[in-house]
A = this chain, B = another copy of it.
């Protein structure tokens, strides 16, 4: 069987996770890691992973079935996404929920023009949580979806802080309010007037020498979409303390729907994740969806799609007969 040829565009924690995940899937092959840095400076997880500069990507159009975009949503993807999907089928993890329609439109236009297929906003949220939100909403129309995150480190939000002037390094944890979780699991169907009542955000920030702490704190707390809608607490710590206490990247959370099918008949559906490593799990999701994108493109689909458009059979490397016999 011909292997699915994968490229990695951008090499941070997520890119490393994809490198590891591709190795775990025998029907896939890593054709290249593309970086804006000097390729020889990159320390890859496996010594045999081929590394190129991004400027060489266009030459490899015929050698890669799906390019997995591993840049951040704040500034990388809005530019890189449409550029790269003009050459390759892509999978990305664009996670600024409020800007999804706009990003979808720009990816759809670029991909349709280039006859490629672009899966946007993959991962676990947006991603698997979105699939469950849509599923639960369709199955239990008289109900309420609840989403809880953490306690866990959010890559996207940490990344957004790191890009601020005056910030050397940072991590951000999303923390659910215990009382809110208790009410939901009890089936009390509480009404939360905003996300602010459901969870809060805790930031640990290392400043650049001479940076203005007060200004950085204000810049974080007022950042639209990322922090403005939440209660946010900012701690300033040393680089040593950050390395010592905040090196893991755990995360998790759940989507729960509590709905009634008739009077006094309550039904609860829940999808939950407990992750030791958020980037490695997200990467595993991207890689499984890359398999689906390779198949869907072969079937003729082009333009932008989301996880909601992908049937789960395409994620699998099992044949229809195996799925019918052992999975269904």
Contacts and interface: CB of A to CB of B under 8 A. Distances in A.
Interface stretch (A62-70, A197-205, A275-283): A275-283
A227 to B, nearest CB: 21
Interface in A271-313: 271-277, 280-281, 283-285, 288, 291, 306-313
A100 B322 CA distance: 11
B310 A138 contact: no
A142 interface: yes
A97 B328 contact: yes
Interface stretch (A20-28, A34-42, A84-92): A20-28
Contact of A130 (B100, B264, B327): B327
Contacts of A100: 324-325, 328
Contact of A324 (B17, B273, B306): B306
Contacts of A131: 312
Given A138-B288, A261-B281, A311-B311, A328 B306 contact: yes
A172 interface: no
A173 to B, nearest CB: 18
Given A104-B324, A134-B315, A288-B139, A280 B308 contact: no
Nearest to A145: B327
A258 to B, nearest CB: 9
Contacts of A283: 261
Nearest to A45: B262
B133 A327 contact: yes
7 contacts: A130-B327, A134-B315, A135-B288, A265-B277, A268-B273, A268-B274, A270-B272
A254 B306 CA distance: 26
A231 interface: no
B138 A316 contact: yes
A327 B137 contact: yes
B261 A317 contact: no
Contacts of A21: 261
Interface string A56-95: 0000000000000000000000000000000000000000
Interface string A122-141: 00001010111111011111
Interface string A239-279: 00000000000000000000001101111111111111100
